[in-house]
Each structure stands twice: as C-alpha cells, then as structure tokens.
Structure 1
Amino acid sequence: MAAAMTVGSQISVDGDTLTDARETLKATPVGRGRFVFLDEQSNVVELPDSVQRLLGSTLQTLAREGSVRINSIPSELSSTTAARIIGISRPTLMKWVSEGRVPAFKVGSHTRFNRDDVMAFCHARSQAQRVAFETMRQDDEEFDI
C-alpha cells in the first residue's frame, strides 16, 4: 500500500507512491484527465481549474524528479526574494524597477514587491518567451534552417 507521511508542513512520499504517480501519468497524462475530490458521502466534487493545474504540476514534478516542494509565498516580498522568484539577479531586478518594468513600493528605505505583481510579471515574461520561441521556430521552418 502506497503511503505519504506528513511531518509539520512537509509530506514525505515513499517509493510505492512515487511509482503510483509515474504509472498514473503513463495511463492518463495530465491535461487529458481531471482530478476529483470525494467528500464524506462519496459525492464527487469537481476541483477548480487553478487547483487542477496545481495538482497536475505537482504530480508531474513528483513523477519526474522524485520529490516536490510547495511553499507559501508572503504577500510582501523583499528584493532578494522577488529576484529569486523571477530568476534574475537582485541588481537586474533593481534596474528593471528603476525602468518601470517591475512594480515596487518602498517601506522606509527598503524596496518591497507585491507577490501578485511578481507572479503576474513572471507569467507575462514566460508568455513572451514562449511567443519569441515560437516565432523563432517558425522562422527556422520558413527558411529551412
């Protein structure tokens, strides 16, 4: 029987559960199925799309990497934390703030960031990268590169 053990806010997954996750993805790839929740009376409760994406991403990462970490992010971020989330250096982040590319606010002399603004920036940046990649791919096909 597969098991997961909760210790504080961490969930440890045994080998059987990891195998189950991998087998589940082989049988039904994420995006081709839906996660459901059964309540105490065994009624099927449809989960919202945002939760579907979270569970799908978690399952894919678990199957691929063998472990997954989910953390909560505070609503107000320091520049170091915001830079780490975006995947850039702190000096680059501060340059982008001065250019108006990333919204920020001051608390005393410290620059702070709203979590939702940082996540929206990451999403927009990721979308722009996908569009640029797709454009490059189409150019490669067009010019037979």
Structure 2
Amino acid sequence: MKDYQHNLPTESDSALAKLCGQELAAVLETKGSVQSLTINSSSGEAKQIEIPVSALRLMVDVLTELGEGNAVKLMPIHMELTTQEAADLLNISRPTLIKLLDEQAIPYHRVGNRRKVKFTDIRAYQDKLREERLKSLDELSQLDQELRLGYE
C-alpha cells in the first residue's frame, strides 16, 4: 500500500485551505455557469478571469478536504487504472483485486498483457458493496425488532 503521509497538508495549510474554502463557498454563484474572479499576482497585478462554476464547486470540495487534513488526488472519471491503483483505491491487496476481476465482479479489459480497470467500474463496485451492506444492516435491524433484542 502506498504511503500517502507525505502528501498530507501541514496544519497551517489545512487552516488556510479551510478558510479559503469557506470564503469561496460564500461568494460562489448558485445560478449561472461562469463566474468572474480577480487574482493578484505576486507583483500586485490584478487579473480578472472567468471560471466555470462547476470548477469552483470542485475547488470548494478540494479545499474542504484539505482543511480537514486529508490528502486529495484528482482523477478523471474515464481514467483507466492499473490493477495496483484499483486495489489501492479499494483498500484491498492486488491478489484480492485479481480474484474479483477473474470472478467478473468488476469489469476490465487487457492492454497487451496488462489488465486495465475503469475508474467508473471501481466506483460502481463500491456503490454495489455499500448497497449490499445497508441491505444486510436493515435485515439485521428488522430481525432484532422482531426478536425484541434491545427494543422495548
């Protein structure tokens, strides 16, 4: 598993990111697709730029995560991952991922002799696992209620 410790923001970076995220969220346009911002260069020159609101929303999300002390990695949604990258994303070993691929639990394709997994397929697998877990918890809760285990 990769060591992401060196990518974590410092305490001062986290504090600044949190403040910036809050301030950006406060001025973010809720209507419209483009917003104007003014940025000052290190020499003091002001430059006005147009930025898509969707990019600014993403920036708020990134700043929020950094403000909480989390490392952030942007990944294009159509990106293809190596088996090691996919395993890291799922927090499982590479051999376990290979087993899931062989069982066709997650779609993949080959590029030469290498397996490639789409990021969207990894996310779909995570969503499916989450739904199955929630369903199991609901069934256990229902059984607890029927057997009056802790419910009176």
Unmatched tracts of structure 1, length 5 or more: 1-9, 22-33, 42-46
Unmatched tracts of structure 2, length 5 or more: 1-8, 30-34, 38-52
Distance 1:87 1:16 in 2: 27
SS of the aligned residue for 2:28 comes to strand
What letter is aligned with 1:70?
Answer: V
SS of the aligned residue for 2:116 comes to strand
Structure 2 match to 1:44: none
Structure possessing the higher radius of gyration over alpha carbons? 2
Distance 2:136 2:72 in 1: 29
Residues 108 and 118, structure 2, Cα contact 8 Å, conserved in 1: yes
Distance 2:63 2:136 in 1: 27
CA gap 1:16/1:113 in 2 versus in 1, 3 angstroms? closer
Residues 58 and 68, structure 1, Cα contact 8 Å, conserved in 2: no
Which of structures 1 and 2 has the larger relative contact order (alpha carbons within 8 angstroms, sep 6+)?
Answer: 2
What letter is aligned with 1:68?
Answer: N
Identity of aligned residues (%): 22
Task: Calculate the TM-score normalised by the size of structure 2.
Answer: 0.56
Task: Calculate the TM-score normalised by the size of structure 1.
Answer: 0.59
Q: 1:70, CA displacement in angstroms?
A: 2.1
Does 1:84 pair with 2:88? yes
Residues 17 and 63, structure 2, Cα contact 8 Å, conserved in 1: no
Does 1:13 pair with 2:17? no
Alignment of 1:46-57 (within 5 A): 55=61
Alignment of 1:1-145 (within 5 A): 12-14=13-15, 17=18, 37-38=28-29, 39-40=35-36, 55=61, 59=64, 66-73=68-75, 75-145=79-149
What letter is aligned with 2:74?
Answer: S
Residues 104 and 114, structure 1, Cα contact 8 Å, conserved in 2: yes
Distance 1:140 1:35 in 2: 45
Distance 2:88 2:135 in 1: 23
Structure 2 match to 1:30: none
CA gap 1:111/1:16 in 2 versus in 1, 3 angstroms? closer
